[in-house]
Amino acid sequence: MEPMRSRPLLAFICAATFLVYLDTSITPVALPDIRADVGGGTTAGPWLLDAYTLAFACLLLTAGSLGDRLGRRNVLAVGIAGFTAASAGCALAPDTGALIAARAAQGVFAAAIVPLSLAVTSGLYDDPRQRARAIGIWGGTSGVALALGPLLGGLLVDAAGWRSMFWINIPIGVVALAGLLATMPPAPPSGAGRRVDVLGQLLFTGGGAALTFVAIEGRALGWLSATVLGLGAVAVAALGVFGWWESRTREPMLPPALLRIPTVAIACTVNFLGLLGLYAVLFLLTTHCQGALGLSALQTGLRFVTLFGCLAVAAVAASSVVARWGTRRTMVTGLVCVAAGLAGLTLVETGVGYPGYAWALVLLGAGVPLSSGVVAIQAMMGDVPPRLAGTASGTVNTFRQFGAVLGVALAGLLSPERGGTVHAMHLTFLATAVAAALAAALTAVVLPGSAARRPVEADGVGDRNGARGHDEVGERAHARD
């Protein structure tokens, strides 16, 4: 595509990506105001976060295949339009149930936007340097969105109410959709790519949803209640059959052979455990700041600027750190920072002020990008067959999103809320700190010391059939091995 036409298309793609990641971090600061307005029990907060992330996680691996079979422009346009409409549904929701359903719809369409926006971005330029620069802009957009979310959310909630957080998505979504259709040439669907694994997708979604329900609602409904026991059995059965089916079908959405590669298994584990603590912190500190401390949404959002600001800076610097230290050392250092940061947050319950635990947020924010995301994907790319490079990156990011889902659920389980006050926050922080420390130990033992490879050109949320930048990275690394 001509450079002059590629630039506006990249801007519109980044606008859509911005929305997806903004709605990941903007919502937590509004949870108390949402519950005060539309009601909901103590489990409403976890569901408002997890409905979005769960739908996002479950459909990531399928979205790339749909883009290849139906046309990336078509599926990406549907994703942007659907996300915009779902945002309007969130803003208009009359009760908690409707809002949770609309949040899940946002997650469904976000799963189409992220991998396909990266696939389109990586194909905008033939020159490797220009392509790397474009993907860097794409990745930087997501980092900026995550960093701005809590602050922007606090400003909007205090100034215009929680519904304004979703209304602002409408004009951005409309501009992104109109710009995409105007600047991206229509192309007939290639019909290539893998056949969509419909049964695998249904089993994976059903099992993940049932497991999340049990984790969130188990305490409230009773662990021995018929509903919890029944859905627990459904989760075990669905995920068990999913594993069996993936090992039998010709075109699985998650090839079992991938997870038998040690570096892929480590990348998936680290991404899962890294996000486990991050999203637990978001949920618990928001409730604590606005419930026990009586802070406003804006004041709460300001406290998260330290966390997400460091996360954005570390994400930009990650490739340079890897080039100097090597992948294994970088990942272990990042995981140690995550573990130390989570352990440090146990100070919150002792009554220390923000300056007394801000350092822990700095460590957590710096540790997550250094241990997961692009760094973890770089660690495995040399061992993944080129034809599975896109699938591998999608798999890693699916584990990443499930870490976010179960992190919020774990927080609700170990640190229940009663009367607007969170109890036993230290249990969640310690549990997730131990998980991060375990991941650090596994990485140090399993990951080869020579895993310092050429930096990956993308953030890693690739389409499963090989966003172009990912496949080229995989081919180069595979050839060197």
Q: What is the mean pLDDT of each run of 10 residues along the chain (481 residues)?
A: 68 92 89 87 86 91 78 90 97 94 95 85 78 77 84 92 95 95 78 74 93 88 92 95 92 86 87 86 89 89 89 83 87 94 93 91 92 75 72 81 88 83 91 94 81 40 37 36 35
Give the whole-angstrom CA distance, residue 220 versus residue 144.
Answer: 37
Give the whole-angstrom CA distance, residue 59 versus residue 398.
Answer: 8
Residue 399 tokens, joined: 């584990």
Strand, helix or coil for residue 422: strand
Tell me which CATH code domain 3-188+253-480 carries: 1.20.1250.20
Per-domain boundaries in the chain: 3-188+253-480, 197-252
Strand, helix or coil for residue 421: strand
Strand partners, 417: 422
State the DSSP string of 251-312: S-SS-HHHHTSHHHHHHHHHHHHHHHHHHHHHHHHHHIIIIIS---HHHHHHHHHHHHHHHH
CA 118 to chain centre: 14
E strand spans, 371-429: 417-418, 421-422
How high is the pLDDT of residue 190? 55
pTM of the model: 0.83
Instruction: Give residue 272's identity as a one-letter amino acid code.
Output: F
Residue 418 dihedral angles phi and psi, to the nearest 5°: -135, 120
Give the whole-angstrom CA distance, residue 75 versus residue 125.
Answer: 21
How high is the pLDDT of residue 478? 38
Query: Which DSSP letter does residue 347 get?
Result: G
Strand, helix or coil for residue 428: helix
How high is the pLDDT of residue 449? 66
Q: What is the CA radius of gyration of the chain?
A: 21
Distant-in-sequence contacts of 232-240, Cβ < 8 A, 24+ apart: 234/206, 234/207, 234/210, 235/207, 235/208, 235/210, 235/211, 236/207, 237/207, 238/203, 238/204, 238/206, 238/207, 238/210, 239/203, 239/204, 239/207, 239/208, 239/211
State the DSSP string of 379-390: HHHTTS-GGGHH
Residue 457 tokens, joined: 């050109």
